[in-house]
Amino acid sequence: MARIICVANQKGGVGKTTTAVNLAAGIAKAGLRTLLVDLDPQCNGASSLGCQPALRHPLVEMRPLRESIVETAVKDLHLLPGSRNFHDVDHLANAEARETDLVRHHLQRGLAAYDYVLIDCPPSLGALTQTALAASTEVLMPIQCEYFAMEGLTQMIHVIRGVMRQEESRLEFGGILLTMFDPGLELTHEVDGEVREFFGEIVFDTVIPRDVAVAEAPSHGQSVLDYAPRSRGTRAYLELCMEVLERV
């Protein structure tokens, strides 16, 4: 059965898409069949891999997902692109409970062919994120190493626990990831210490550094692993990949 990892945080700019793309690329390079599901209406997951958004959102059309999944330049990495279609995004974001269940079951049915599935969520706690959480086996939360790192986390964890209490849920806490880590800043170390003290072993040992290569890679339609294989960002995402694979 696939491990379905939902990459989520209601705050924007914390590295959700960057983490989803690069972690998916790393897992695929380990020889595991991997799918990246782009649920963010900005569709940055698709463009980060040099792919185009779908004209209509695959989860709205309810066609078999295999008809919408596309190959990427990375061997063993496939993509379910999102869509910027306003009506589709609005429909998914404001779906009623019954429709949300239909979308969740439709999504789950299309994932059996993969070893790992990474779901890139929008920066919100709305229906789309909750649907992704309900379809997942674990949630990975990136946190930026800045002053407001802990802001809103209580709300996010409350939503996650609500999903975990649902009868059919298989969701577990997969881990918290510190991103945009700058070892030269005292604030970075303060945030690191505070997060690790509060959350303990759930926090990944790996931290993702600030690295220009990580920021540049999406504009070339590549993961940082392919764009700058010797960069600090690549090394960090490979270390994260190993941690994730070890947490079976």
Give me the pLDDT at residue 99, please. 67
pLDDT in tens, 17-52: 999 999 999 999 999 999 999 999 899 999 999 999
Are β-strands 77-80 and 70-71 bridged in parallel, bridged antiparallel, or unpaired?
antiparallel
User: pLDDT tens-digit profile of 115-151?
Assistant: 999 999 999 888 889 889 998 999 999 999 988 877 7
Query: Residues in the chain with pLDDT < 70?
Result: 97-99
pLDDT at residue 210 in the model: 95
Residue boundaries of the structural domains of the chain: 3-243
Contact assessment for residue 224 and residue 230, using Cβ atoms and an 8 Å cutoff: no
| DSSP letter for each residue of 93-146 | HT--HHHHHHHHHHHHHTTTT-SEEEEE--SSSSHHHHHHHHH-SEEEEEEESS
Q: Does domain 3-243 have CATH number 3.40.50.300?
A: yes
Of 7, 15, 25, the C-alpha closest to 226 is 25
What pLDDT score was predicted for residue 133? Answer: 92
Question: Which 8-state DSSP code applies to residue 170?
Answer: -
